[in-house]
Amino acid sequence: MDPDSALARITELASRIIDGGPERLEWSALLAASEELAESVVALDEWLRRGGFTPKAWSNSRGSR
C-alpha cells in the first residue's frame, strides 16, 4: 500500500462528493465514488493498524513529541 496515494485518492473522492453534491451527480456516480471512498479509508486504516507508516502529509514536520 502507498499511503500517500491512498490519502490523495481519499481527498479527491471526498472533494468530488462534496463539490458535486447529490443534486449535481447521477446516483450511480455518487454511489460509486462513495463506495470507493469507503474502501480507500478502510484500506488505509488497516495499513496503519498493521504498523504501516502514515502519509507524508500527516507527518509532523517539527518532529514527534
pLDDT tens-digit map of 28-60? 888 899 999 999 999 999 999 999 999 999 987
10 lies in a domain? yes
pLDDT at site 20: 76
Using pLDDT thresholds of 50, 70 and 90, give the confidence band for residue 65: very low
- pTM of the predicted model as reported, rounded to 2 decimal places: 0.81
* CA nearest to 25, candidates 50, 43, 34: 34
Cell of 15: 472533494
24 lies in a domain? yes
Structural domain harbouring 44: 3-51
63 lies in a domain? no
Q: How far apart are CA 26 and CA 49, in angstroms?
A: 35
pLDDT at site 15: 92
Report the number of distinct structural domains present in the chain: 1
57 lies in a domain? no
Burial classification of residue 14, based on how many CB atoms lie within 10 Å of its CB (0-12 exposed, 13-18 middle, 19 or more buried): middle
The residue type of 39 is E
Cell of 52: 504501516
Looking at per-residue pLDDT, the higher value among 21 and 13 belongs to 13
39 lies in a domain? yes
